[in-house]
Amino acid sequence: MSQLAKKFFSYRSYTPIPFLILMLVFENVNLTTLIIGFVIALCGELIRLWGVSWAGSETRTTSGVGGTILVISGPFAYVRNPLYVGNILMYFGLGVMSYALFPYLQIVALLFFVLQYHLIVKEEEAFLAKKFTNAYQNYLQNVPRFFPRLTPYRVNGVEQPTFKLNMGLKSETRTLQAFVTVALLIIIKWYLRVNNIF
């Protein structure tokens, strides 16, 4: 694993923090951006929840890329990296919600996260290709990296986990808490500003 990809992988839960701080400091919300941004961010969070309900807690590792099973069910049947797609939508949605430094902050954040996930995904793909050989090569050729296909990828003979929403919710607790907290902070700051409370 390259040093840069390793750093990004290990700290991927923390790299959004500078952008979130800027969103709060330079918040310039209006009702339209609040609604549109929240819908985009919520879609991203729901994609993440769908993904972790299939993939389980393995998605939470920070020690290095890995995986005990090749998951090709649920959102993974449409796109190879649904959790990263969900993250990008969630961060972008929060950026639209805050309307901070629009559109420059949103563009810079989008480019940063695309670069970060591109580097991480290259390492993950190398690991998965080595571990799951032909099954992964077939998956790689049929399922896009970031832009979902319209129909689910189906193949027999690949062991799959079962969908467990309760385990997904448990695994996703921190992300859900962070999402709700940031969204509420943006809404509170907007409310205080429009009502001249501070």
For 145-167, write each residue's pLDDT tens digit: 999 999 999 998 778 889 999 99
- State yes or no: pLDDT of 1 exceeds 80: no
| pLDDT score of 13 | 81
Count the neighbouring beta carbons within 10 Å of the beta carbon of residue 20: 20
State pLDDT tens for residues 29-47. 999 999 999 999 999 999 9
Dist CA 15 CA 20 (whole Å): 9
146 burial type by CB count under 10 A (0-12 exposed, 13-18 middle, 19+ buried) = middle
Coil/strand/helix, residue 59:
helix
User: Are residues 82 and 197 in contact, defined by beta-carbon separation less than 8 angstroms?
Assistant: no
State pLDDT tens for residues 93-108. 999 999 999 999 999 9
| pLDDT score of 159 | 82
Q: Output 39 or 59, whichever has higher pLDDT.
A: 39
Question: Residues 6 or more apart from 167 whose CB is under 8 A from it?
Answer: 52, 53, 56, 57
pTM for the predicted model, two decimal places: 0.90
